[in-house]
Amino acid sequence: MAWFVKTETFTAVAASLPVEQRRPTLEAHRHWVVQEAAAGRRLRSGYLVDGDRRPGGGGLLIFEASSYADALAWVENDPMIRAGLVAWQVQEWIPVNGDGWP
């Protein structure tokens, strides 16, 4: 298995929507992540904040997959992507140093 990173930022259209209109998709995204973790996928998910801890910098998802093609196919099921709310990319991540995680 290999590690992959999905980065995302709201599209200009999504950023202009009131939070109430984005909230159902955000909740669907959170539910999807929880379900995938409960099913055994190794992942870490979160959002980015600025120096004052204000959100808006996008999101980050680190996860395992057997190949780039599998990583891409899995990520395309993310409700945020399916709804077209985010610009995103997936890259393989090759850890070279750390404390044992992942």
Percentage above 90 pLDDT, the chain: 73
The answer to whether the beta carbons of residues 84 and 11 sit under 8 Å apart is yes
On average, the pLDDT of the chain sits at: 92
Gyration radius of the chain over CA positions: 14
pLDDT at 100: 66
Give the pLDDT band of residue 44 (cuts 50, 70, 90). Answer: very high
Query: What are the sequence ranges of the domains in the chain?
Result: 2-93
Tell whether the model's pLDDT for residue 38 goes beyond 80: yes
Find residue 3's DSSP bridge partners: 64, 93
Does the 2-93 domain belong in CATH 3.30.70.1060? yes
Over residues 11-25, the mean pLDDT reads 90
Tell whether the model's pLDDT for residue 83 goes beyond 90: yes
Over residues 14-39, the mean pLDDT reads 94
pLDDT at 101: 65
Give whichever of 16-20, 35-39, 95-99 has the largest mean pLDDT. Answer: 35-39
CA–CA dist 28, 53 (Å, integer): 23
**pTM, 2 dp:** 0.87
